[in-house]
A and B are shown apart, each in its own frame.
Chain A
Amino acid sequence: MTRIAKLAALAVVGALLGCQSPYAPRDIAMSVLMNKTLQQEDRFGLPAIATVFIPTTLKDAYNLGSPSGDVANFKSLIVAKLMAFGQDAASANALASALAPDIQPVDLSQPSAFLNGRKPADDVITGELHLIFGSNAALNDDHVDANDTPFLTTFPYLAGPHVQ
């Protein structure tokens, strides 16, 4: 076989593999991000909570910031709002310490369940409503306890999309 023929054969095999494999070509030269300095635009640790305690004027700074700065920059604001909401200093401080830094903590040696990590099925909203409204039964549970579509038992775990 000539060299050209070999190359052609390889190309055909490659094309076939490309069609049949979920693996994509490894060439990433087309990425517009390569060798560029990128600026953070959004961040997400705990499902919300922290964002509300940040004044509007500081929200951009918060989104552009890093968790390592959260205690210094934002914890006192969180404590103040919690105390204004009626919590005593001790509970406000304890809760604020859980919210800042805004990181999703997980101990993989223990079962995952919000606030130890976060599973898709965890009812985080009701958890947060309980945190805010305590025993006020009218407001401490939205009575939506599960997702509209069952989660998968295998990867990728999230349910398939709703399509027309």
Chain B
Amino acid sequence: MSRKAVLSLLLAGAVAIGVTRLISASDHKDSMLLAGDPAADIADVYTFSSPTNPANTVLAMTVSGFIPPSEASTTFFDPNVLYQWKIDNNGDAVEDLVIQAFVTGTGGHQVMHFRGPAAPSDIGATDRIIDGAETATVAVSNTPTPVVASRNGMTVFAGVRDDPFFFDLVQFKHIIAGEATSFRSPGIDTFAGTNVLAIVVELPSSQLGNSKLGVWGTTSRPQL
């Protein structure tokens, strides 16, 4: 189940508990079935000031949720997917800058390439790889030791990590199924012991054009 589906389920369930008549059961099932394409399925996006350098900002995106330990070293990014952070720096909800990431290579020999931050050539849901040289590249990490690279002021990582998300999804499902009336305390993290594919960049905040930003992540594929 995708992260978005999990959270849709959460909120749908929450609404269903309060106002059952407003939400059909099929909404839940539809949400749960939206997994489909894990490599392009964004699990989470994070934006935060760097804990190690107050002049820097960290952007992280996770995809391909629920990778079991047995598949940690054999789950890879999709070379047909463009991963992007889109950044609005003037408050109009339109991207002014993008940071793009895409892999080349297969199996355990993938390389993640980064471009930007730079103005995109296309605005909105149609995207192209922006012109110019790559800001940074890094070998994709398939083991617990992260491979990290820095170039042009940007530090980058791509590879398998522990899923940073935490939630007692199992108990929540019991609640919305009418099998429980409250969360348990302590709860049990359904995501404990599972992995995701993560892309992390740290860069000077000055490259983002403003201190007040709106950030979102996207995945795109070539048009058929």
A binding-site residues for B, Cβ under 8 Å: 22-26, 28, 30-45, 47-49, 51-53, 56, 59, 64-68, 70-71, 81, 84-86, 101-109, 111-112, 117-120, 123, 125, 128-129, 132-133, 138-139, 141-149, 151, 153-164
Band of interface residues on B: 35 or more
Contacting residues, chain B, for A146 (C-beta < 8 A): 166
Shortest distance between the CB of A136 and any CB in chain B (Å): 9
Q: CB distance A155 to B223 under 8 Å?
A: no
Contacting residues, chain A, for B30 (C-beta < 8 A): 56, 59
Q: CB distance B182 to A162 under 8 Å?
A: no
Contacting residues, chain B, for A28 (C-beta < 8 A): 104, 113, 134
Listed by A's residue number, 23 A-B pairs whose Cβ atoms lie within 8 Å are: A22-B147, A23-B137, A33-B129, A33-B222, A38-B129, A39-B222, A39-B223, A43-B42, A56-B30, A68-B124, A70-B93, A86-B19, A103-B214, A112-B49, A125-B10, A138-B182, A141-B183, A147-B162, A155-B58, A156-B148, A157-B51, A160-B146, A163-B73
B binding-site residues for A, Cβ under 8 Å: 3-4, 6-8, 10-12, 14-15, 17-19, 22, 26-27, 30-31, 34, 37, 40-42, 44-49, 51-52, 57-58, 60-62, 67, 69-70, 72-73, 79-82, 88, 92-94, 102, 104-105, 111-113, 123-129, 133-134, 137-139, 143-149, 151, 155, 157, 160-162, 164-168, 171-172, 175, 181-189, 191-195, 198, 200, 202, 205, 208, 211-223
Contacting residues, chain A, for B186 (C-beta < 8 A): 143-144
Contacting residues, chain A, for B73 (C-beta < 8 A): 163
Contacting residues, chain A, for B205 (C-beta < 8 A): 108
Q: CB distance A47 to B44 under 8 Å?
A: yes
Q: CB distance A24 to B167 under 8 Å?
A: no
Contacting residues, chain A, for B125 (C-beta < 8 A): 39-40, 64-66
Shortest distance between the CB of A123 and any CB in chain B (Å): 8
Q: CB distance A144 to B146 under 8 Å?
A: no
Residue in A25, A38, A148 whose CB lies within 8 Å of B82: A38
Q: CB distance A23 to B149 under 8 Å?
A: yes
Residue in A52, A151, A154 whose CB lies within 8 Å of B8: A52
Q: How far is the CA of A22 from the CA of B151 in the complex (A)?
A: 11
